[in-house]
Structure 1
Amino acid sequence: MSKLYLVPTPIGNLEDITFRALRILKEVSLILAEDTRTTGTLLKHYDIQNRLQSFHIHNEHKVVARYVEQILAGETIALVSDAGTPSISDPGFLLVRECLKNNIPVETLPGATAFVPALVNSGFPSDRFFFEGFLPHKKGRQTRLKELAQYPHTLILYESPYRLIKTLEQMMTVFDPERPVSVSRELTKIHEETIRGTFAEVLEYFKNKPVKGEIVIVVGHKGDL
């Protein structure tokens, strides 16, 4: 039966992919990739030869209808992002929604997602947490931080290495200064690290070294350290 598969891919270490995911990537009619070069490297590593086409934030509104039509015509399509699970702060939502509207089966495979190891590594309570993803870049950023500061659970945010310092500085002025924070970067890669402490301590650490790799910020509550 034709359907859409959402296939998680490694967030760094190429070994972090399931046997099932590799089988699906081999068997589908077409793979939609956020960046065909990144996915091409993964496919080459596992000797998978299949059709690749681009599906990213800049073209998804234009091409969604085309791929829905292809599935309705009998094709089976897999969607992957550059790293992790599609639709988690990555393209995928629009395609899933349109497939469901057209009664197309959607199957999401379990697999890599950056915020899960970052949350567990933090040592903060994980029975309840709020995943924010990326903050607004400009408009509404400060307002959103003030809202998040009131949440009673562990908070998880994504950030780029270029905005980490600014974000920590902004958070330090809004959040209780006694709240602990954990910053993970380069997860599953050679230079993986997780730094824990107060906002001031973590900020001081990253101010004194180059920041590389995608960032996950986890914020606990006073007493969690």
Structure 2
Amino acid sequence: METGSGRVVLVGAPLGNVGDASTRLRDVLASADVVAAEDTRRLARLARDLDVTVAGRVVSYFEGNEERRTPDLVDALRGGAVVAVVTDGGMPSVSDPGYRLVRAALEAGFGVTAVPGPSAVTTALALSGLPSDRFVFEGFLPRSGSARRARLRELAAEPRTLVLFEAPHRIGDALADLVGAFGADRPAAICRELTKTYEEVRRGTLAELADRAAADPPRGEITLVVGGAPVIVAARPDDDELRAAVARREAGGVSRRDAITAVAEEYGLRKREVYALVHAP
């Protein structure tokens, strides 16, 4: 329940091309009482490129001071301030500063809204050429090799497309570990410098991308998209076994419709085929 007029506005900033800035982004930067910026110099450059005057108080808000500065921003909310959060690019709180303030504002009863904008996650996913109907965003992998390899082993069987952020100086090691955990032939794409002058998308198998990265290391901001693990479909049982599989799920408390859907997905069948078997006279 909201208790005051103060509110947080998460501002989706351009990833690189200033032409992607929305009218609402301009309006919020110009009117917010406080602008919490991941990099105040980049904010100043963005405002200059947009011909916007930031009239409110500008404070730095990045990983190193986020925890310490959040209480001050909540105090500003109590005074009725509109606090805009802007990162170097993309949506705040998605692997960027903002999450702590969102939680603190909500717990204190203040509203949180967003000015939608560019996202490296969905942009890379769309450009990758890999399945995009279902995906998992994993953020940055652990920095240490042993921790990274352990996390990749946990993700190896994930059937959904995987989206990761990675630093240029670690991309070679990350790709080598991905080959080890996921196999050489898993399809993937390295998307770098999205919307910027030197935007590039490298597509291929993990092994091909690892070899190319070793010979020509990608530079700039990198989003890595990896195809999901192949789904192994069980052999189709006979009709009586299919009916029994649906019945077992129903006995466990699952609705008939959901039981039919689950059995159809397990065996790679059409739902109407399983439905017809279950409802056959």
- Partner of residue 109, structure 2: 103
Instruction: Give 4+ residue runs of structure 1 displaced > 3 Å after superposition.
Output: none
- Partner of residue 45, structure 1: 49
Q: 1:92 and 2:98 equivalent?
A: yes
- Unaligned regions of 5+ residues in structure 2, if any? 231-281
5 Å matches for 1:148-187?
A: 148-187=155-194
Pick the aligned partner of 2:207 from 183, 191, 200: 200
Taking the aligned partners of 1:179 and 1:47, their CA distance within structure 2 comes to: 45
Deviates more, 1:94-103 or 1:204-213: 204-213
Pick the aligned partner of 1:137 from 129, 139, 143: 143
Preserved contact between residue 178 and residue 222 of structure 1 (Cα < 8 Å): no
Q: Secondary structure in 1 aligned to 2:150?
A: helix
**Larger of the two Rg values belongs to structure:** 2
Number of aligned positions between the proteins: 223
Preserved contact between residue 182 and residue 219 of structure 1 (Cα < 8 Å): yes
CA root-mean-square deviation:
1.3
Preserved contact between residue 158 and residue 228 of structure 2 (Cα < 8 Å): no
Taking the aligned partners of 2:221 and 2:116, their CA distance within structure 1 comes to: 21
Taking the aligned partners of 2:185 and 2:210, their CA distance within structure 1 comes to: 14
Deviation at 1:98, TM superposition (A): 0.4
Preserved contact between residue 33 and residue 79 of structure 1 (Cα < 8 Å): yes
- Partner of residue 124, structure 1: 130
- Higher RCO, 1 vs 2 (CA within 8 Å, ≥6 residues apart): 1
- Unaligned regions of 5+ residues in structure 1, if any? none
Preserved contact between residue 180 and residue 222 of structure 1 (Cα < 8 Å): no
Taking the aligned partners of 2:172 and 2:193, their CA distance within structure 1 comes to: 16
Preserved contact between residue 12 and residue 189 of structure 1 (Cα < 8 Å): yes
Higher helix share: 2
